[in-house]
């Protein structure tokens, strides 16, 4: 089933935690069920939305095992293998293989100062050492490197990459990648946008799928949006996208004078999941700071206006 390029809505799954910062397995199972019920086409665990940067390896392994067990093969599960360089990433690849995941998502090296030729070497080494499909994760806001379209096309053409998750926000660059893949006749590479906000445009220009953090909160909305696009109902898609755009405003509940952008976005997603009864506890991992009660009220108002409460 999973040998074809992945398509559709592939939410990056939040990681529910207990108040003492352990993985909350019951809540994670409920979240997986909530997403599958919403009609999603795959799951991406241990990405930014999963707080992967905040989770010790033990937590990461538990997330992989609980998710693959809960999914039980209904949809593919992609696993982030997020670490600084090749050998460290490969340790996470091993953990994902052992947990039975269906694909690996990895960034360029970070923390170090890496030449483009070394970024290419990195992805080639990763692909050599796993049988799983490999997706390149383009996230310059975290990695401080933008993946070059020519590099991605070359790696896709050589069978190194099965896909790209583009969270760069550079829609013209993603379209360039899509056109270059088409011009070279490469059909084995899925391009997934990480944007919550330009899904209809991305799909219209040929993207294969979407990995929106906000789909944790409203998987049905993104599933509807994807089907509208797949069926060519572009006006309905635009309307649905704009509704989700407004809902996305919940990430602005947290005061940027007080907490960081990660705290604000992940705190709001978890607050919304908690308010919707999907997870037991909205806590995020340190050093993130929590939303205040007033900020949670703002999240609640957004859910109510979106008809989700």
Give the residue, chosen from 8, 9, 42, 54, that forms a contact with its own copies under the rule CB under 8 A: 54
In the complex, least distance from residue 63 CB atom to its own copies, rounded to whole angstroms: 13
Q: Does 228 bind its own copies (CB under 8 A)?
A: no
Q: Contact at 8 Å (CB) between 168 and 195? A: no
> For residue 23, what are the β-bridge partners?
17
Site string for its own copies, 108-147 (x = CB under 8 A): -xxxxxxx-xxx-xx--x---------------xxxx---
Q: What part of residues 161-180 is at the interface with its own copies (CB under 8 A)?
A: 169-172, 175-176, 179
Q: Which helix (H) or strand (E) holds 105?
A: strand 103-106
What is the closest distance, in whole angstroms, from the C-beta atom of residue 176 to its own copies in the complex?
Answer: 7
Q: What whole-number distance in Å separates Cα of residue 34 and Cα of residue 219?
A: 8
- Residue from 156, 225, 259, 279 that binds its own copies (CB under 8 A)? 259
Q: In whole angstroms, how close is the CB of 47 to its own copies at the nearest point?
A: 12
Least gap, CB of 226 to its own copies (angstroms): 17
E strand or H helix that includes residue 79: strand 77-80
Q: Are 46 and 11 in contact (CB under 8 A)?
A: no
Binding part of the chain for its own copies, among 6-14, 36-44, 158-166, 189-197 by CB under 8 A, reads: 189-197
Distance (Å, whole) CA 272 – CA 287: 20
190 forms part of the interface with its own copies (CB under 8 A): no
Q: Look at residues 248, 263, 250, 259 and name the one whose alpha carbon lies nearest to residue 54.
A: 263
Query: Three-state SS for 140?
Result: helix
Q: Which residue in 13, 17, 25, 48 sits closest to 285, CA to CA?
A: 17
Residue 245 touching its own copies (CB under 8 A): yes
- Inter-axis angle of helices 149-157 and 171-183, nearest 10: 30
Q: Which is nearer to its own copies, 90 or 215 (CB)?
A: 90
Residue 41 contacts by C-beta under 8 Å, 6 or more apart in sequence? 6, 7, 8, 9, 10, 75, 209, 226
Q: Which of 169, 10, 138 is nearest to 79 (CA)?
A: 10
Can you tell me which of 36, 186, 281, 289 binds its own copies, judged by CB under 8 A? 289
Examine residue 37 and tell whether it contacts its own copies (CB under 8 A): no
Cβ 189 to its own copies shortest distance, Å:
18
Is 198 among the residues that bind its own copies (CB under 8 A)?
yes
284 in contact with its own copies (CB under 8 A): no
Binding to its own copies (CB under 8 A): which residues in 72-91?
A: 82, 84-88, 90-91
| Interaction mask 9-28, its own copies, x per CB under 8 A | ------------x-------
Specify whether the CB–CB gap between 217 and 247 falls below 8 A.
Answer: yes
| Cα–Cα separations (whole angstroms), residue 159 to 11, 81, 127, 189, 213 | 25, 19, 9, 9, 28
Applying CB under 8 A, the residues found at the interface with its own copies are 21, 48, 53-57, 59, 82, 84-88, 90-91, 109-115, 117-119, 121-122, 125, 141-144, 169-172, 175-176, 179, 195-198, 200-201, 204-205, 234, 238, 242, 245-246, 256, 258-263, 285-289
């Amino acid at each position: 089933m999973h040998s074809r390029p992945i398509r559709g809505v592939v939410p990056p799954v939040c990681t529910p935690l207990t108040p003492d910062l352990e993985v909350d397995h019951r809540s994670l199972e409920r979240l997986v069920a909530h997403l599958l019920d919403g009609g999603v086409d795959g799951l991406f665990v241990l990405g930014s939305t999963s707080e992967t940067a905040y989770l010790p390896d033990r937590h990461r392994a538990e997330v992989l095992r609980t998710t693959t067990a809960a999914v039980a093969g209904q949809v593919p599960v992609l696993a982030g293998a997020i670490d600084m360089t090749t050998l460290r990433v490969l340790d996470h690849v091993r953990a994902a293989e052992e947990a039975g995941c269906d694909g690996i998502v990895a960034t360029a090296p970070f923390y170090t100062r890496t030449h483009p030729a070394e970024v290419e070497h990195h992805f080639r080494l990763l692909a050599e050492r796993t049988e799983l499909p490999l997706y390149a994760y383009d996230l310059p806001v975290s990695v401080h490197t933008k993946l070059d379209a020519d590099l991605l096309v070359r790696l896709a053409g050589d069978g190194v990459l099965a896909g790209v998750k583009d969270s760069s926000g550079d829609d013209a660059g993603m379209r360039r990648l899509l056109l270059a893949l088409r011009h070279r006749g490469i059909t084995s590479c899925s391009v997934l946008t990480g944007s919550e906000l330009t899904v209809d445009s991305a799909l219209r220009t040929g993207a294969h799928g979407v990995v929106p953090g906000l789909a944790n909160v409203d998987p049905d909305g993104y599933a509807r949006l994807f089907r509208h696009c797949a069926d060519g109902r572009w006006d309905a898609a635009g309307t649905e996208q704009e509704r989700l755009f407004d809902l996305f405003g919940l990430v602005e509940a947290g005061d940027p004078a007080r907490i960081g952008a990660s705290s604000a976005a992940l705190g709001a997603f978890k607050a919304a999941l908690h308010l919707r009864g999907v997870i037991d506890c909205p806590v995020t991992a340190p050093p993130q700071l929590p939303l205040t009660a007033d900020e949670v009220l703002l999240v609640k108002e957004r859910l109510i206006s979106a008809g989700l409460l």
